[in-house]
Structure 1
Amino acid sequence: MALPSVAAASEHHPFEFETALKDLANSSNVKSVPSKFNFINQPTALTSDSIPIIDFSALTADDPHPRSKAIHDLSKACQEWGFFILVNHGIPEELMKATFTAITEFLSLPAAEKKQYEAKSASDPIKCGNFNVANTSNQIITLWRDYLKLYVHPDFHCPEKPHLLREVVLEYSERTRKLARILLEAVCDALELEQDYVDQVLKLGSSFQMFAANYYPPCPEPDQAIGLPPHTDPGLFTFLIHNGVAGLQIEHNGHWFNADSPQNSILVNAADQLQILSNGRYTSVKHRAVVNSEKERISIVVANGPAGEAVVGPAAPLVQKDGHPLYRSMKYLEYLESQLLKDRVGGKSLLEQQKI
């Protein structure tokens, strides 16, 4: 599969790649947010104990009764929240810890080592640094975040150092890809689609998967900067784990909620192509990453999508039930490219543009 290719990663593109934020944040004389990071926001949010919890072991149980309940709960979570906390998923705690260790080692590499991976275009299969976004007033804002992004399937890409990184990223991405497949099989059951419908239509054997590590250093003025502005994810399911420092917030019924998740669980969200495939039954909700003044936060995200060549539209059996499609069909690779080139923070999202 060809990688997302964006020729317009230029001065006209809203994403301009910069150098590491880590060094700036570690400087003892940074008492306020430099103007280029200025993004006025209200980082406080409501706390909710209502974010659904899905027991993955029940989805794979031989007993049909707990499995049926788990499928129902998963479907309800995708409809009402677009997010859920996945427990008993089977990924070893040791692997999750090792992944954070490897990412921390990568972040601590000398600048000269990391510079070879500094993003030159949005389509690089390995890229690190941070980037700017434009808002609706054409102001350029640098995000309070450093990142490492890797395309890990169908082709695997990873930095050579630290040596542990390749091993843990490969294993973690393979395990999460298997989780995503089982979740999608459960979705097929919930939507009364043939078991292999999604697999065939979305060509999951060549699914496009991205691994990302996000580093949010302490910020002297959390209401004057943002880690990631409100957005939805492309793809089917996105998995997130963090280093024990919360910061992800999700939008639900017009309010922002803190999306805290217990240790060793995985926070999962339904993404854009799942909303499109379900003809609007499931929802890809906006979420954001806020920063704090006390602790560094590291999150590890794995985005699981269809194959790049797969044309994603509302599932034909669902369209037949509904009488009409609610979304246009689009090749997933083109969707990724279009999102990379989308107008700006606060503008109409690509998902909204796909509505008929």
Structure 2
Amino acid sequence: MAPLSDSFQPFEYDTAIKVLADSSDLKAVPSKFKFVNEPTGLNSDSLPIIDFSALTANDPDQRSKAIHDVGKACQEWGFFILVNHGIPEFLMNSLATATREFFNLPETEKKQYEAKSASDPIKCGNFNVTNTSNQTFTLWRDYLKLYVHPEFHCPLKPPVLKEILLEYTKRIRELTRKLVEAVSENLELDQHYVDEVLKLDSSFQLFATNFYPPCPEPDKAIGLPPHTDPGLFTFLIHNGVAGLQIQHDGKWFNADSPQNSILVNVADQLQIFTNGRCKSVMHRAVVNDERERISMVVANGPSKEAIMGPAAPLVKKDGRAIYRPMKYIEYVEAQLVKSRVNGKPILEQMMIEEDDQVVN
């Protein structure tokens, strides 16, 4: 599979993939979507499962074990399945229904949200990606991306989406704060220091929903190529159809999840802030030839204005910083426009070589 280059055009609105899939009896993937890959992933009984209720338990031993488990999952897998998180199942199901209603809107309704720049708070369309062999292909999906905190943005239709999304993203912010606290406590970071750096009261939160219709040739198209996320933690739920795969020890694993659970992965700024201890893992979305898949993703970051570099106490402990600092919103917008620079992920570009230390 040829690596992606720095040519990444995320804001083109072409005919929606849903329209293409609904309007014809496709037997093969059209050439513009062709991306040869091996979509099969491994299954594992070792995927970490975190019981969120234990983090808020009155029993100190139970809570201490949960904090240890979160830290271990973030450092070894960069991913975990969150259960007993307290978000009502009906709210999650309602969000799936509302987002599907959006994708069912007429094309004229959706096209008005075609983004003109990376900073547009509402974006709708699909992605074109160019690899290092100068081959351009379109991803097998339609998407909607919204900035939902500290300012909330949402399409006018369907009307029910706004209320559901406000409640769901608020609850996700609460979960994020607790998980950040757990990671901080596990690394013996002062919570006041963490709050001062991350400024979570004004955290920048992005919601994305993706529609992946059945694909006649799943090995010749892809929903999302391998990538990492900006932010601290990313939360993902879906409509009951799995498709997320994560990379671990150089192999791809299926990230299947029990009903009413949430898939959570460490994102780039948590890896940077912990000076490499927590791992922002590569993951991808594969497609299938039988059922449509809808994923609903919430990316949770620090404040847009937060300067994200390694935590000072960890730098002191390690003897050096592994990553350069950068304002969070600049990182987000850079990644939206260019997933890779000179063939390398942006996170890798942020690394500091031992002979190239930044003097603060």
- What TM-score do the two structures reach when normalised by structure 2? 0.93
In structure 1, the residue matched to 2:45 is: 49
The alignment status of 1:171 with 2:167, answered yes or no, reads: yes
> Contact 1:185–1:196 at 8 Å: present in 2 too?
no
Residue 26 of structure 2 corresponds to: 30
Counterpart mapping for 1:140-155 below 5 A: 140-155=136-151
Deviating more after overlay: 123-132 vs 240-249: 123-132
> Is the CA contact 1:135–1:345 (under 8 Å) kept in the aligned structure 2?
no
CA distance in 1, matches of 2:140, 2:303: 31
1:306-355 CA distance string (max 9 Å, x none):
11110001100011111111111111111112212326599210111111
C-alpha separation in 2, matches of 1:323 and 1:191: 16
Equivalent in 48, 53, 59 of residue 55 of structure 2: 59
Per-residue CA deviations over 1:93-116 (Å, capped at 9, x if unaligned) read 010011011111111111221121
Q: Check the 8 A contact 2:341/2:349 in 1, yes or no.
A: no
Equivalent positions of 1:53-132 (< 5 A) are 53-132=49-128
**1:144–1:227 CA contact under 8 A, matched in 2:** yes
Map Cα deviations across residues 153-196 of structure 1 (whole Å, 9 max, x no partner): 01000011111100001100000011000100111100101123
Any stretches of 5+ residues in structure 2 without a counterpart?
1-6, 353-360
* Residues in 2 aligned to 1:228 and 1:245: alpha-carbon distance in whole angstroms: 15
Q: Is the 8 A contact 2:11 2:116 kept in 1?
A: no
1:316 to 312, 315, 329: 312
The one-letter code sitting in structure 1 at the alignment partner of 2:13 is E
- Structure 1: which 5+ residue stretches go unaligned? 1-11
The residue aligned with 2:249 is 253
What is the distance in 2 between the residues matched to 1:345 and 1:231? 13
1:354 corresponds, among 334, 350, 355, to: 350
Query: Residues 295-314 of structure 1 correspond to what in structure 2 (within 5 A)?
Result: 295-314=291-310
Q: How big is the shift at 1:123?
A: 2.0
Residues 61-99 of structure 1: CA deviation (Å, up to 9, x unaligned):
111111000000000000110000000000000100110
Residue in 2 aligned with 1:9?
none
Asked if 1:205 is matched to 2:206, the reply is: no
Alpha-carbon shift at residue 122 of structure 1 (Å):
2.5
**Equivalent position of 1:15 in the other structure:** 10
Superposition pairs of residues 177-188 of structure 1, within 5 angstroms: 177-188=173-184
Q: Who is 2:324 aligned against? A: 328
Question: Could you tell me how far apart the structure 2 residues matched to 1:138 and 1:18 are?
Answer: 21
SS in 2 for 1:141: strand
Q: Distance in 2 between matches of 1:153 and 1:325?
A: 30
User: Cα offset for 1:136?
Assistant: 1.1
Scaled by the length of structure 1, the TM-score of the pair is 0.94
Q: Provide the identity percentage.
A: 72
Aligned-partner Cα distance in 1 for 2:307–2:164: 31
After the TM superposition, which residues 158-307 of structure 1 pair with which residues of structure 2 at under 5 Å, given as runs?
158-307=154-303
Check conservation: 2:234, 2:264, Cα contact below 8 A.
yes
- Quick one: which amino acid aligns to residue 32 of structure 2? K
Contact 1:54 1:84 in 2 (8 A): yes
Contact between 2:271 and 2:280, CA under 8 Å: does it hold in 1? yes
What is the alpha-carbon distance in structure 1 between the residues aligned to residue 120 and residue 246 of structure 2?
Answer: 29
Structure 1 residue 249, shift from structure 2 partner: 0.4
The answer as to whether partners of 1:180 and 1:304 remain within 8 angstroms in 2 is: yes
The whole-number CA distance in structure 1 between the counterparts of 2:283 and 2:341 is 13
In structure 1, distance between residues paired with 2:286 and 2:307: 34
**2:109, 2:336 → 1: CA distance?**
26
Within 1, Cα distance between the matches of 2:167 and 2:9? 34
Q: Once superposed, which parts of structure 1, at least 4 consecutive aligned residues long, lie more than 6 Å away?
A: none
SS at 1:177's partner residue?
helix
Quote how far apart the aligned CAs of 1:13 are.
5.3
